[in-house]
Amino acid sequence: MRGILASSIGVTCAAALALPLAPPAAASAGTPAPAADVATRTAETADARADVPGSTQSLPLRPLTHDRASGAVLGLTPRTVRTFSLLGVVWDDPSADLHGRVQVRTRAAGTGEWTDWQDVETHYTQHGADPDSPEAASGTVRGATAPLWVGESDGVEVRVLPEPDPGGHGEHGEQPGERGEPEDAGPSDAGSGGGPSGGEGAGDADEVSALPAGMRLDLVDPGEAGPEESAEPAEGAEPAESAEIPRTGVMTAAAKAASAVNSALVPLGATEIPSLTAEETREELVSLRGPELTEQQQAKPYIGPRPAIVTRRGWSADESLREGSFVYTSTVKAAFVHHTASGNNYSCSQAPSLIRGFYRYHTRSLGWRDIGYNFLIDKCGRIYEGRAGGVAKPVKGAHTMGFNSKTTGIAVIGSYGSKKPSSKAVKAVARLTAWKLGLHDRNPKKKTSLTSGGGNLYAKGTKVKMKVISGHRDGFNTSCPGGKLYKKLSSVRSKAATYQGR
């Protein structure tokens, strides 16, 4: 894949690929598979790193000949594309809702086999910046589905099935935990016969016009970070010391800046912030925030032992993708827990690649200033630094629209509407919140007062009593973090309080 990437850096391509695509067995014989009509956005700035280039292919969706079996009116017929591992559908207006279903199927680069149809989570912009904030008002922000991790692939097909009555379905019409997850499509798709959903053509003009304007499929190659990623550890095993070999060589100015904000914890260029004992953490708290602490807090601070955290350099972030400055909020009063809704078909050793994919998707496809989450956790319980600015500092994220001020956002990688999160991941959420909230003397078992920045549950300016550890759905009408993960938050609060010594 490195060779393919190297040849495409800095190039805008709209040419057809030479390789033909053999249609699926169930597809109509003699139907040619079009090559990708695609614009490619790559890391072209002076700060880009040659060893982690990455790229985004953007394919405009087209009207499809109406398929009575699936009901799809917009999409792409099967086609060969450059290798990618993560995808999402993007549109122009971030305030426009997609009332319908987005389904994709992909072809594995290694085997040439096509997957079954998979649903893509269509409600995702509620993970973004607060309304009227500089980040939301930048003019670059777009609407989008959640990103879906599909693994290394070189073929794709997509179909969009609009809902007949937008007012009675979707995000606002379902109960929490009932919305679509990126899982295999159910028996209702059997009518498609496993083949294409219809040829590209006129489609149904009324149904197409009801969908957000400018819809396109973004295919993300997260780039590489050195040697092949290691084999997946057993899910019950402790996380390995290093899931990937970090990048080496001279650091760019942006990389130095992203690392320097953690200099009170680790040396410049560190790929991991090591864990500390309870006593070491208390000593560090005094050194970090001593003048701000009361005598009682200095004598007996309630804070959990600092967990190990993989830095942005550790997961090989291309620091040229984000905006250069860091944005902070005044304190951290609460933590919001999320899932990435990106599917569960990944190994823990691939987690850095997923995070690089999320990062590129958030910045290049959605137009955000950086990755939205403050922290991410994989299924093996490994914790990763998210948005740049320093893990011990109150970095303002873009994770819970309306409640990004005075909070931190933690995303567990995967989809947890119907699948239980691993015990390792749940424990990691508790350990991380015990430390992060402890830096600001917050009790995980209590409630706190937050002021809404605007959303679909609380109007802007509304003061809301919120649990110190809350799920995304507590601040916004959404299924996130999935019903199965949400049910674990009670035990997370208890464990976090115990880690703090309460």
* pLDDT of 329 strictly over 60: yes
Lowest-confidence segment of 82-91, 183-192, 266-275, 449-458 by average pLDDT:
183-192
Q: What whole-number distance in Å separates Cα of residue 127 and Cα of residue 387?
A: 13
Mean pLDDT for the chain overall: 81
What are the DSSP E strand ranges found in 111-267? 118-120, 143-144, 148-162, 216-221
What are the distances in angstroms from CA 252 to CA 41, 268, 281, 387? Answer: 21, 12, 31, 18
- Candidates 376, 365, 334; CA nearest to 470 is 334
* Residues 401 and 372 sit within 8 Å (Cβ to Cβ): no
pLDDT tens digits, one per residue of 250-302: 899 999 999 999 999 999 999 999 999 999 999 999 888 888 888 877 888 99
* Residues 396 and 327 sit within 8 Å (Cβ to Cβ): yes
Q: What whole-number distance in Å separates Cα of residue 254 and Cα of residue 318?
A: 9
* Residues 163 and 212 sit within 8 Å (Cβ to Cβ): no
Of the chain, the percentage scoring pLDDT greater than 90 comes to 64
Q: How many CB atoms lie within 10 A of CB 358?
A: 26
- Pick the residue with more confidence: 22 or 405? 405
* Residues 404 and 398 sit within 8 Å (Cβ to Cβ): yes
- Pick the residue with more confidence: 248 or 210? 210
- Candidates 344, 357, 470; CA nearest to 418 is 344
89: helix, coil or strand? Answer: strand
* pLDDT of 226 strictly over 50: no
Contact residues for 469 (Cβ-Cβ < 8 A; gap 6+): 334, 335, 337, 433, 437, 444, 489, 492, 493, 496
In 3-state terms the chain splits into helix, strand, coil percentages (rounded to 5) of 20, 20, 55
Per-residue confidence (pLDDT) for residue 289, from 0 to 100:
82
* Residues 458 and 393 sit within 8 Å (Cβ to Cβ): no
Helices (H), 263-314: 278-289, 295-299
- Pick the residue with more confidence: 340 or 228? 340
Per-residue confidence (pLDDT) for residue 384, from 0 to 100:
98
* pLDDT of 182 strictly over 60: no
* pLDDT of 491 strictly over 80: yes
- For residue 481, cis peptide bond before it (omega within 30 degrees of 0): yes
Q: List the beta bridge partners of residue 63.
A: 74
Per-residue confidence (pLDDT) for residue 408, from 0 to 100:
98
Give me the amino acid identity at 313. Answer: R
Please give the average per-residue pLDDT across 460-483, as a whole number. 95
* pLDDT of 9 strictly over 60: no
Sort strands 74-91 and 62-63 into parallel, antiparallel or unpaired.
Answer: antiparallel
Of the chain, the percentage scoring pLDDT greater than 70 comes to 75
Phi, psi of 166 (to 5 degrees): -55, -25
**pTM, entire model:** 0.81
Please give the average per-residue pLDDT across 131-154, as a whole number. 92
* Residues 291 and 329 sit within 8 Å (Cβ to Cβ): no
Residue 45 confidence class, pLDDT cut points 50, 70, 90? very low
Length of the chain: 502
Maximal CA-CA distance, the chain: 79
Residue 207 confidence class, pLDDT cut points 50, 70, 90? low
* pLDDT of 197 strictly over 90: no
Q: List the beta bridge partners of residue 58.
A: 39, 218
Sort strands 407-412 and 334-339 into parallel, antiparallel or unpaired.
Answer: parallel
* pLDDT of 189 strictly over 90: no
Structure tokens at 267: 């040396």
Q: What whole-number distance in Å separates Cα of residue 151 and Cα of residue 87?
A: 10
